[in-house]
Chain A
Amino acid sequence: MDIAEKMNVFQDAVQVDPRVVTQEHMMTEENLYIPEKTVGAPFVDDPKMRMRDVNVFYDTDQAIHGVSLDIGKNEVVALIGPSGCGKSTFLRCMNRMNDTIDICRVEGSLHLENQDIYDPKLDVVELRARVGMVFQKPNPFPKSIYDNVAYGPRIHGLANRKTDLDEIVENSLRKAGLWDEVKDRLDSPGTGLSGGQQQRLCIARTIAVSPEVVLMDEPCSALDPIATAKIEELIRELSESYTIAIVTHSMQQAARVSQRTAYFHLGWLVEMNDTDTVFTKPQHELTESYITGRFG
């Protein structure tokens, strides 16, 4: 094959293969291929959540392409990648929040321990009690602080007596590091708190149902650095008892809080490995380009 032929093949590839990362997405001159198979170590032994060949479609647009990865027990996994790479979409598959979008279709197998998450017989209510979620923007209910935290336990019937409920509320607020700030005003509205406090209230609300897994979708993107530091501290503490998957745009944050990091690109999972390895010795050029800030 002479040079000209090679160029032709290459240009054909550029046109038909969506895995070619072109200059649109990059500031560098070179073109990079997304690997056929995820680089690094996406699987662990005895995982809490096991995802295999997950494809997600919005109508006819494919947002996730054959992603396979594991989330280990009591592990914090960070999902990073440029905007629109599908990391939030993937996160929302894990507790079927995508169900609410009519045009969204999920393929592949997703398991929480031995439970198939997309089993039609599975009740999403039960699933969401086991896999809680914290959203990008703090979204407390327009209720009192107490009722915000007590809402989950109430609808799931976790506490039969007022004293039990009080205990759950106090414990959750303590775990979320908010108890000392709000213990004297549990009856005031949750929406009256500051942004950082609201987000911690949302975390307290999520852990009040004692989920096994907590999904966090850019929980600090609307917060200032001090509030962010508090939330990060909280995530580290929570990882002792919960399994956490966190989507973040901040690579420093991923490095600070997570044990393993997954790098998504245009809907493909490019690389997944120990956080240290990903940030110090990335194995794929795309990952390296991203973490060194050559595109985003």
Chain B
Amino acid sequence: MSVTTEQVRKTLARRYRAEKRFKAYGICAISIGLLALLLLFTDIIGKGYRAFYEYSVALQITFDPETLEIDDPRDLEQLQYGNYEAVVREALQARFPGVEGREDKRALAALVSTAAGYLLRDMLENSPELLGQTHTLWLQLDDDADMFLKTSEAKRKMARLSDQQQAWMVELEQSNEVRAGFNHSLFTRGDSREPEQAGILGAILGSLFTMLVTLALSFPIGVAAAVYLEEFAPKNRFTDFIEVNINNLAAVPSIIFGLLGLAVFIGLFGMPRSVPLVGGLVLTLMTLPTIIISSRAAIKAVPPSIRQAAMGLGASKMQVVLQFVLPLALPGMLTGGIIGMAQALGETAPLLMIGMVAFIVELPTGAMDAATVLPVQVFLWASSPEQSFVTMTSAAIMVLMTFLITMNTLAVVMRKRLERRW
């Protein structure tokens, strides 16, 4: 055996050990990341899944004209001011005949959501013949009663119901007069002070309009800026200065953009507060650097041989850019764009500054209607005292995460689709 071989043998074992150690470090790092993700998801899903279903109670409702104070159900004004809560109250008292005293009666009535009254009104408006009839209806429970049913036996003592209310709920549960169903209002309503009536549709629509404004502005502007800087701009001090500043802009804390939006768009241009248009403008400013930087990287990655080939054939600068550089850089640009969008979708701080944190019940119908967005909705609910809002917050986070994951998946799929190999 030669000396070299011997030397190599000696070091070989050490080299392999170093390699193994390095691999172990990598696996460790990935495991920590995955574990954190797993913890996050278990916590959020564990808390949030209960917001996706809700309990309702079966009650014998009599549409009594006297109690309702309605004699003509076709008269909208009468319908508007009907005393529906009294009907629900009576139905509850009929179910629990032993309840006496104002306090107890109020405690009993508090079990059913105020939304039940709106349900009765809508039913009566759609079919006026119901007046005077009696039907068994499933009515939405109040959030505290709902939470009581959702918690396990052991933890029920902690519920925000009095002992008496707890007893009524247990009785209803045992006689199968309550049932769980899909929580429709979560996806069909705007915000509300009552957790059982609150939904995230308003925030979803607000996010949608904000994203549309952001996408429509930031992608074209970002790509145009990147193309100009890469392809047309002369290389001098001034463009260097611009480049440095774009990179700086990417590192500016997002709340600063919110202040800028407040000062410029609302203060100077007099745009309304809390509207997705201003939110979109602010987020455009915020995502522009991301899109410009990734687009420039994508343009730089286009092989120069293709440019030369096209120019050698007599293609003009414009033709080279439009026919070769842009199509080849598009996957990279789209990826950057979608990642920028995802970043904007999850952004809260700048939107707080421009008033998108307001409590808004109405669903927005366009970019000029006051609205809030998903992450801000999460923020709002997280700071609400009601117990049910804890689960609602987690549910809103789940919806937000679904959007983000979908967008990121889309980015990967698009890149794979559009990527061309050389």
Contacts and interface: CB of A to CB of B under 8 A. Distances in A.
Contacts of A156: 314
A141 B309 contact: yes
A139 B313 contact: no
B174 to A, nearest CB: 71
Given A139-B308, A141-B324, A102 B313 contact: no
Contact of A206 (B306, B313, B421): B313
Given A125-B314, A205-B309, 13 more contacts: A97-B308, A100-B311, A124-B314, A128-B312, A129-B313, A133-B308, A133-B312, A139-B303, A139-B305, A142-B306, A142-B420, A142-B422, A155-B314
Contacts of B328: 142
A185 B60 CA distance: 77
Interface string B35-56: 0000000000000000000000
Contacts of B315: 125, 151, 155
B311 A128 contact: yes
A126 interface: yes
B307 to A, nearest CB: 8
A191 B311 contact: no
Q: How would you classify the secondary structure of chain A's contact residues: helix, strand, loop or mixed?
A: helix
A205 B311 CA distance: 12
B246 interface: no
A125 B307 CA distance: 14
A125 B316 contact: yes
B314 A135 contact: no
B314 A126 contact: yes
A132 B305 contact: no
A151 B313 contact: yes
Q: How large is the interface on B (under 10, 10 to 19, 20 to 34, 35 or more residues)?
A: 20 to 34
B319 interface: yes
A19 interface: no
Nearest to B307: A100
B310 interface: yes
B234 A135 contact: no
Contact of A132 (B235, B307, B313): B313
Interface residues of A, number: 28
Contacts of B422: 142, 191
Contacts of B234: 102
Nearest to A134: B312
13 contacts: A102-B235, A125-B315, A125-B316, A126-B314, A128-B311, A128-B312, A129-B313, A132-B312, A132-B313, A152-B313, A155-B313, A155-B315, A206-B313
B309 to A, nearest CB: 4
A141 B311 CA distance: 12
A95 interface: yes
Interface in A95-150: 95, 97, 100, 102, 124-129, 132-135, 137, 139-142
Interface string B385-422: 00000000000000000000000000000000000111
Contacts of A133: 308, 312
Contacts of A128: 311-314
Contacts of A95: 312
A102 B236 CA distance: 11
Interface in B298-343: 303, 305-316, 319, 324, 328
